[in-house]
Amino acid sequence: MNYTPHTERDIQHMLNAIGVASTDELFAPVPESLRLNALNLPPGISEMEATAFVHSLTDRETSLSFLGGGAYDHFSPSVVDAIISRGEFFTAYTPYQPEVSQGTLRAIFEFQSMICELTNMEVANASMYDGASALAEAVLMAVRLNNHTRVLLPRSLHPFYRRVVATYVRGIDLELVDIPWSDSGTLDIAILKRELTDNTAAVVVQNPNFLGVLESLDEIGDLVNNTRTAFIACVNPISLSAIRPPGDFGADIVIGDGQPLGLPLSYGGPYVGFFASRDAHVRKMPGRICGETTDVDGKRGFVLTLQTREQHIRRERATSNICTNQTLCATAATVYLSSIGPQGFREVGELNWHQSHRALQALTALDGVRQKFSGPIFNEFVLEIDRKASDVLTALQHRGIEAGIDLGRFYPTLENCILTCVTEKRTDADIDRLIDAWRAL
């Protein structure tokens, strides 16, 4: 099966117009030595067979999941997928021709506005690839802002995000300093204070952090504000329904992954990074930005703007190399936020808060299960047990439950610890099922 509409007559007609005898002649510029005799792939199949193949892979029960750790199982209203399934959105390209791209441009403008609203920041871009690359770009931007040479990264930052930052800063001279967590699971403020030197480019804080614990952004803001060091906050956007945003505490750059805003888990992507900052820094920002303007008749319209920051104009002096971003995912997040509105957003926040706390209470009432960190949590928490986390997790998996993430995978000292997440989709009955299964181990 292929998607070419050409009949034999069409082909003949076109070859005649070109003045060649066969399509093969059109490949004459490719030296004979490079021509491929046969592509080593099986013959094509029909749509019916392709569909059967996918179903053969996926024909299995799904388990009851309490997994989080940077990707979350939230409810997505039906309108979200319905809107982004419109061909006019998903089969369009980047809006370089604004007159025929007002739909995409307006959706991006709304996205930027909503990200500013959630984070309480002044300006946001049209999206980044995902949370991790958004953080890496934030670190690079901080260095552009102050030319300093070290960055403080919490040990409680998502370990994958940390690895992405490390990869992205290879090309510049930058020291990454590890800031450990305290007994409560929050950043060790005393060590942070000690490491916050004059040549520190940025302090990175994740909220809630990878251990699920909420940081005291006010204390961190007090330390960093009024220095030339940039305050970078990496946030879970759903938490901003209940928890004060970093913009309240003087953050310079707020980034995160928009996946919780109505996007499917999809084995890790496509998600959408968001990136917000201060008006004063806008010309140092990476990525596309949509702006409002007027057309020749004075009518309101939208365009990609401040493009002299970008690779297609500035080339090796661009603020980033990003070109294609995650516009359709940003559109999905925009529709999600429009559909739940301020009231629904508050309700989601409350549900996450109370369901996770109820689960935490029930789980820590079990024999040999303790809460590892005393700090406040939003919808994820760390449980400590008396044996290796993987033993319990595997046993629960056999009962159709993924009870959490084995933290020993990421931190050798936490091999008895499980990171468990409870979103608004986990009902009391789901929690009961987890408790019963655990008790029966």
Partner 1 sequence: MNRDKLIFERGASGRRCVAFPAAVDSGTAIPETMRRDVPPNLPEVSELELVRHYTALSQMNFSIDTHFYPLGSCTMKYNPRVHEKAARIPQIAGLHPLSENAQPALQILWEMEQVLKAVSGMDGFTFQPTAGAQGEFVGISLIAAYHRAQGNAKKVVLIPDSAHGTNPATAAICGYAVQAIKSTERGTVDVEDLKAHLTEEVAGLMLTNPNTFGVFEDEIEDIAALVHDAGGLLYYDGANLNAFLGQCRPGDMGFDVVHINLHKTFTTPHGGGGPGSGPVGVKQALLPFLPLPVVLKEGNAFKLDFDRPESIGKVSSFYGNFGMVIRALVYAKMLGAEGMRRTSEMAVLNANYIAAKLDPHYDRPKNAQPMHEMVFSASRQKKANGITATDIAKRLIDYGVHPPTIYFPLPNVAPETMLIEPTETESLEQVDDFVEAMIQIAKEAEENPDLLKEAPHATPVRRLDEATAARKPILRFKTNNP
Ligand X SMILES: Cc1ncc(COP(=O)(O)O)c(C=O)c1O
H or E segment to which residue 131 belongs: helix 131-146
Q: What's the rounded Cα separation, in Å, for the pair 334 and 347?
A: 18
Nearer to ligand X, 241 or 320 (CB): 320
CA dihedral sign, ordered 73, 77, 78, 83: negative
Nearer to ligand X, 94 or 338 (CB): 94
> From the CB of 312, what's the least distance to ligand X, in Å?
8
Q: C-alpha angle with apex 239: 234 to 243, nearest 5 degrees?
A: 95
Nearer to partner 1, 194 or 354 (CB): 354
When CB distances are held under 5 to 8 angstroms depending on the partner's kind, the choice from partner 1, ligand X, none that residue 221 binds is none
When CB distances are held under 5 to 8 angstroms depending on the partner's kind, the choice from ligand X, partner 1, none that residue 149 binds is none
Q: Nearest to residue 262, comparing CAs of 200, 181, 348?
A: 348
> From the CB of 245, what's the least distance to partner 1, in Å?
7
Interface contacts to ligand X, rule CB under 6 A: 323-324
Nearer to ligand X, 327 or 416 (CB): 327
Nearer to partner 1, 124 or 197 (CB): 124
> From the CB of 30, what's the least distance to ligand X, in Å?
19
> From the CB of 323, what's the least distance to ligand X, in Å?
3
Q: What's the rounded Cα separation, in Å, for the pair 230 and 210?
A: 21
Q: C-alpha angle with apex 205: 421 to 266, nearest 5 degrees?
A: 40
When CB distances are held under 5 to 8 angstroms depending on the partner's kind, the choice from ligand X, partner 1, none that residue 37 binds is none
When CB distances are held under 5 to 8 angstroms depending on the partner's kind, the choice from partner 1, ligand X, none that residue 297 binds is partner 1
What are the C-alpha distances in Å from 384 to residues 143, 381, 416?
38, 10, 6
Spell 370-380 as b/e; 16+ CB within 10 A means b: ebbbebbbbbb
- For the chain, the farthest-separated pair of C-alpha atoms sits apart, in whole angstroms, at 83
> From the CB of 229, what's the least distance to partner 1, in Å?
22
When CB distances are held under 5 to 8 angstroms depending on the partner's kind, the choice from ligand X, partner 1, none that residue 32 binds is none
> From the CB of 127, what's the least distance to ligand X, in Å?
13
DSSP string, 389-429: HHHHHHHHHHTTEE--EEGGGT-GGGTTEEEEE--TT--HH
When CB distances are held under 5 to 8 angstroms depending on the partner's kind, the choice from ligand X, partner 1, none that residue 308 binds is partner 1
Nearer to ligand X, 325 or 331 (CB): 325
Per DSSP, 214 falls in state: P
